[in-house]
A and B are shown apart, each in its own frame.
Chain A
Amino acid sequence: MPVHWFYHEKKQSVINKKEEEDMAKTVDARGLSCPQPVLMTLDEIKTGEADEIIVMVDNDASKENVSRAAKSRGWKVKDINEEGDVFNVIIRKE
């Protein structure tokens, strides 16, 4: 997934060594409307494989819903950045 790869590369320059060991998983929910992005995010959280997840969505309602769902599971919304029509919602385990 090129966008994931690109983002991950960018991230490498700003994170410290410890965080580097954690794999940030990407959930691609572009083109999907709720509840799918939330279901996909919660599925990824449930696997317990990542401490950080990048959820890609392309509408504002999904961005808000994913953020709200992450918070309700005790995760923190670390950042939301916009690349063109896509929001990367970066959530991190508290």
Chain B
Amino acid sequence: MKGIKNIFAESWGIIGVGVFIGILAPLLQNWGNPSNMGICVACFERDIAGALGFHRAAVVQYIRPEIVGFVVGSLIAAYLFKEFRPRLGSAPIVRFFLGVFAMIGALVFLGCPWRAALRLAGGDGTAIFGLLGLITGIWIGTLFLRGGYNLGRTQQTHQAAGWMLPLFMAALLVLMLVFPHISGQEKNEMIFYSVKGPGSMHAPLAISLGVGLLIGFLAQRSRFCTMGAFRDFILFRQMHLLSGFVALIFTALVVNFILGQFKAGFEGQPVAHTMHLWNFAGMALSGLAYCLAGGCPGRQLFLAGEGDGDAAIFVLGMIVGAGFSHNFGLASSPTGVGPYGIPAVIVGLLVCLFIGFTMRKSRAS
């Protein structure tokens, strides 16, 4: 299939993928996922961390099959189109901590950029502050990029090395199938489940997995990236990826109206709080971390699926970051930011600035 022109790399391709996600994400809510959280890569990775017991927030524990599907769907697309290129070695430890702080910021806002879009499309006005923060963080990241920020070159590696994260994801799915939820119980012999709260709300496993695989496949082909959307516009005035992100928001808005899921306002929005400054600052931290790491949380999963070991490290960083967030009281709840959320955002911004200022290379090298 290598010879086939990649139609998803064209303008209508990326818009089509945005529309597709914009239809499926609100539908997932209709099928059981939490409100304005049809797909949220940060929240879902946080739920996975909870299911594995890396944190003990009882309301957010579930191995989300969508995340498994994203990685495996991307892997399938990459193999079919001969784009599976196992590679790693571009400052993995830095990417790990960027993942940690990206998650900490995301859980102060309560969502990744995908969820920010879905919150907005569901009428949640507080998402506006998150999106403005995201854009601000990415803008700061572009200043570093212009100044020569660069984590260095990757190296090719063994095919099997590129399989590590997809295999981990497959293992999670196997765990879930072997140890299914026992009704009313928070834990079976192996993994945790939520009996109430967002972690208990999910579409049927087969649907979640199927949608995840489809989106993973299409996003690998189209290079869909919500961070790249703003980064490329700021850096190059290029609308390509942004058109996909905007298409997602408008489509989800229409679908939410049709499904009766649209509820405009700032107060009482599902899994959201009204501390606007910290909605902004949390997402600014995330946006900066995504920009320094070269992709939004979704894109990191898709890259990991096509063999990028550094993206896989970022994903693991996010999962660990979810543990930190909930164990140390950094994550927000609908009542507001956690007790240590504000200092965590400040520390995260300082760490990202440190990375941005110190990791420059002459572009020629």
Contact = CB atoms under 8 A, between A and B. Distances in A.
Interface of A: 30-36, 38-40, 42-43, 58-61, 64-65, 68-69, 72, 85
Contacts of B55: none
Contact of A31 (B145, B146, B154, B232): B154
A30 B236 contact: no
Contact of B223 (A35, A40, A64, A72): A64
Nearest to B294: A33
Nearest to A68: B240
B228 A36 contact: no
Contact of A32 (B9, B150, B223, B308): B150
Interface stretch (B30-38, B83-91, B256-264): B83-91
Contacts of A32: 150, 153-154
A60 B150 CA distance: 20
Contacts of B146: 39
B138 to A, nearest CB: 11
3 nearest A-B residue pairs (beta carbon): A31-B153, A64-B9, A31-B154
Contacts of B6: 60, 64
Interface in B234-278: 235-236, 238, 240
Nearest to B154: A31
A35 B231 contact: yes
Given A43-B363, A69-B238, A85-B156, A36 B150 contact: yes
Given A59-B85, A61-B223, A64-B9, A35 B235 contact: yes
A39 to B, nearest CB: 7
B334 to A, nearest CB: 36
Contact of B85 (A58, A65, A68): A58
Contacts of B159: none
A39 B149 CA distance: 11
A42 B363 CA distance: 12
A85 B87 CA distance: 11
Contacts of A40: 363
Contacts of A39: 145-146, 235, 363
A68 B150 CA distance: 22
B154 A72 contact: no
Contact residues of A: prevailing secondary structure: helix
A19 B192 CA distance: 67
Among A35, A42, A64, find the residue whose CB has the most chain B CB atoms closer than 10 A: A35
B155 interface: yes
Nearest to B361: A36
Given A35-B236, A36-B363, A39-B145, 7 more contacts: A32-B153, A35-B294, A39-B146, A40-B363, A43-B363, A58-B156, A59-B87
Nearest to B311: A33
B278 to A, nearest CB: 29
22 contacts: A31-B87, A31-B152, A32-B153, A33-B154, A33-B294, A34-B228, A35-B235, A35-B294, A36-B145, A39-B145, A39-B146, A39-B363, A40-B363, A42-B236, A58-B87, A61-B223, A68-B240, A69-B236, A72-B236, A72-B238, A85-B85, A85-B156
A36 B151 CA distance: 10
B155 A31 contact: yes
A36 to B, nearest CB: 6
Interface in B132-169: 145-146, 150, 152-156
A50 B123 CA distance: 51
A2 B19 CA distance: 45
A36 B238 CA distance: 15
A25 to B, nearest CB: 11
Interface string B1-26: 00000100100000000000000000
A15 B87 CA distance: 36
Contacts of A38: 235-236
